[in-house]
Amino acid sequence: MQEYIVDATGLQKTYDTGLVSVAALRGVDLQVKRGEMVAIMGPSGCGKTTLLNCLSGLDEIDSGQVLIDGTVLHDLPDDARSDYRARSMGFVFQLYNLLPVLTAVENVEMPLLVSGVNAAQARRRSMELLDLVGLSERASHLPAELSGGQRQRVTIARALVNEPSIVWADEPTGDLDSETANDIMDLMCGLNQDNGQTFVLVTHGDEIGARAHRIVRMRDGRIEDDGGLPQTGETANSLAEPGN
């Protein structure tokens, strides 16, 4: 088993609109240990979301290398990368990005169905996850019929339904009030603690960041402070409860 679930070196990414060229990542190195909860923070436009997208394979990189659990994600063909995401990754977005035409449970079971899991199993597992996030009674509601916090819980359930080894969360509490944001963070920290799943989250909020094991600070497309990578041999179990 690889020690680092995420091992990125020399990541460079430039956006070229034709008129303007913006260097979003200027040689980023980042390692994340299995079971770790890492918060990426920094001012707007510093490249946090770009880094998350590049690490998770949602976006291409210009140069450098990303190893996810020992797999060079960017070398994979698009279909294989999609399959990898479906099997081994979960995503939580600021704007939830639920499919508005599907109910909560249907949204949650989507990654399983995409991975080819049997429909009955998928439904059972999705209900378990909804139960876990406290929304089993709202399973048949459409996203429009749920509050922001509830929607984000559904998103988290969706992110975790396929038991991913890593969950990427882009501003998971950015659209929520502080009370709900805390609830969501409680939920994520609990899951991280209980299941040993790795969480990489992008956030603006210091309070949110403070609840992670480690804060990686970025500025102008570079990592300013990697927050002190845990020592080799230190595992999720030996990591302290995040935020404590």
Partner 1 sequence: MEELFGVSMNIIMVALLVILIPSLAVVAVMAWRNRVMLKMGLRNIPRRPAQTVLIILGIMISTLIMAAAFGTGDTISYSIRIEAIKALGTIDEVISLPRASEDDNFGSQPYMPFDRFLQLSEETAGIENIDGLGPGIAEFAPVLNPRTSLSEGNMRIVGVFPDSVAEFGGLNLSSGGSARIEDLGSEHVYLNDDAAEELDAVEGDEVRIFLGDEELTFRVLGILEPGGLAGPDPTLAMPLERAQAVFGREGQINSIAVSNKGGVFSGAEHSEEVTRQLRVLFADPQVAEELKLLLMGADALDALERREQDLTGSLQAELASVRAELAKDGVSDKLISLLADRQVSEEILEALGSGGLRDAERQAVTLFDDLGELSIIDIKAQLIEIADEAGGQVTTFFVIFGLFSIMVGVLLIFLIFVMLAAARRTEMGMARAVGARRRHLVQMFVFEGSAYALVSGAVGVVLGLVASALIVAIVNRIFASTSGFEDFQMTRHFEARSVVVAYCLGTFITLATVGVSAYRVSRTNIVAAVRGLPDTAAVDTKGWREIALAPALAALRPFRLTGRGGSALLALQPLTSLGYLAQAWWAALTVPITIVQTLAQLIWRPFRQGWLALALGVVILFSSMQSNEISVFRIGGALTIVGLGLSMRSLLRSAQMRPDLRDRIAYTFMGVLMLAFWVVPFGWLSAVFGTLEGGGPELFFISGIAMVAAAVWTVMYNADLLLKLLTFITRPVGMLRPVLVTAVAYPMSSKFRTGLTLAMFALVIFTLIVMSILTRAFSTAAADVETSTLGWDIEGSVNFNTPIEDIRQAIADHPDLSPADFEAVGGYTTIPIEARQPGAENQRWRWYAVRAASDDFLDAAGGKLKIIADGYGDTAEEVWQALKDDSSLAVVDALAVPSRSRFDDSEVPFAMEGIFYEDERMDPIELEVREPNSGQIVNLKVIGVLDQLTDAFGQIGVGMFVSKSALDDAISFQIPITTYRFRVAPGVDLPQTANAVEAAFQKHGMETEVLEELVDEAAAANRAFNYLFTGFMGLGLLVGIAAVGVISLRAVVERRQQIGAQRAIGYRRRMIQLSFLFESSFVVLLGVAIGVGLGTVISYNIVSEIRNELESIQFSIPWLQIGIIVAVAYLFSLLTTYLPARQASRIYPAEALRYE
* 32, 38 Cβ separation under 8 angstroms: yes
Tell me how far apart the alpha carbons of residues 197 and 37 are, in angstroms, rounded to a whole number: 8
Binding part of the chain for partner 1, among 32-40, 111-119, 204-212, 232-240 by CB under 8 A, reads 111-119
Which amino acid, 183?
D
Of 13 and 213, CB closest to partner 1: 13
Q: What is the token pair recorded at 182? A: 């805390």
Distance, CA of 162 to CA of 143 (rounded, Å) = 20
Dist. CA 54–CA 102, nearest whole Å: 28
Contact at 8 Å (CB) between 55 and 200?
A: yes
86 lies in the binding site for partner 1 (CB under 8 A): yes
37 backbone dihedrals φ, ψ, rounded to 5°: -115, 115
> Where in 115-134 is the site for partner 1 (CB under 8 A)?
115-116, 119-120
What backbone torsions phi and psi does residue 146 show, to the nearest 5 degrees? -110, 155
* 151 is a contact residue toward partner 1 (CB under 8 A): no
* Stretch 195-224: interaction string toward partner 1, x if CB under 8 A: ------------------------------
- Residue 139 or 236: the one with the smaller Cβ distance to partner 1 is 139
Asked if 95 is part of the footprint of partner 1 (rule: CB under 8 A), the reply reads yes
Beta carbon nearer to partner 1, 91 or 243: 91
Residues that bind partner 1 (CB under 8 A): 49-50, 53, 56, 58-60, 78-79, 82-83, 85-87, 91, 93, 95, 97-102, 106, 110-111, 113-116, 119-120, 144, 158, 170
